[in-house]
Amino acid sequence: MPTAAGACSRLCIPGDPVIVPAPLPADSGRDPLWRPEQQFTSTQLAAPRRRWLLDDGSLTARLVALDAGAFSVRRLYQGWQVPLPSEQRLLQVPARQRALVREVLLRLDGQAVVFARSVFPISSLNGELAHLRKLQHRSLGAILFRYPGMQRSPFELARLSGHSAYMAPWVRQEVPAWARRSCFDIRGKRLLVSEVFLQEFTPWDASLAVHRSRRGTVSAAIHRIKQ
């Protein structure tokens, strides 16, 4: 007899319990419960969302390639603050050391589709990366993917409540949102980027036309964005 998604792989017999993953609760805390991507089942994370959330290419380039309206960045906040505990762990910074935190909206045709939070340790903001202090309304992704040898860590994912304190108050919503984060390493300088896909993000089923391995295509896409 057929088994339900997530059930045991052996042949089930009448009376056997069918194991189905419980619905994933939405996290409303200031520092969400982030989990490695491998811990999410196909039931919890459907294929269209998995393709977007686990793709390690430039999200900026992919949004531009959708041709769904003009891409723009709106900076909401930038300032020095102590990172959240889980951010300190990933960035390996002392518990009370301040870092530069930047929060922005990624927009298509003026509509916010992604809320992004970036954390820059002070030790990463010198030398060739000092200019990241003054991004203003420019896309961080349009800059990071230009660096040869840039490394990106595996993703951690979270399912956020629409009213999660992790998001800026003016972008909170009535429905839960998927979020992802990863560390970038540029010649030993680390920074953390998280992205929350808002309810207005609708192209889950759109094909991903640009892949990180096609760096020429990525560069062409991001260079079209006004700096």
HEC assignment per residue over 163-183: CCCCCCHHHCCCCCEEEEEEE
Residue 9 included in any domain: no
Write down the pLDDT at residue 44.
87
Answer for the pair 106, 171: CB distance below 8 angstroms, yes or no: no
CA 157 to each of CA 3, 45, 77: distance values in angstroms, whole numbers, following the listed order: 27, 10, 23
Residue 191 included in any domain: yes
- Span 41-50, mean pLDDT? 89
Write down the pLDDT at residue 208.
58
pTM of the model: 0.79
Q: Could you tell me which residue, 216 or 44, shows the higher pLDDT?
A: 44
Residue 12 included in any domain: no
- 132 annotated to a ligand binding site: no
- Span 85-101, mean pLDDT? 94
Residue 156 and residue 6: Cα distance in Å, rounded?
Answer: 21
- 140 annotated to a ligand binding site: yes
Residue 115 included in any domain: yes
- 96 annotated to a ligand binding site: no
Write down the pLDDT at residue 22.
41
Residue 100 and residue 190: Cα distance in Å, rounded?
Answer: 12
**Least confident among 26-40, 130-144, 208-222:** 208-222
Residue 89 and residue 80: Cα distance in Å, rounded?
Answer: 18
What are 119-160's pLDDT values in tens digits? 999 999 998 899 999 988 889 988 999 898 899 999 999 999
- How many separate domains does the chain show? 1
Question: Range of 213's domain?
Answer: 35-223
Residue 30 included in any domain: no
Across the chain, how many H-helices and E-strands are there?
A: 5, 8
Residue 13 included in any domain: no
The domain that contains 211 carries what CATH number? Answer: 3.40.1410.10
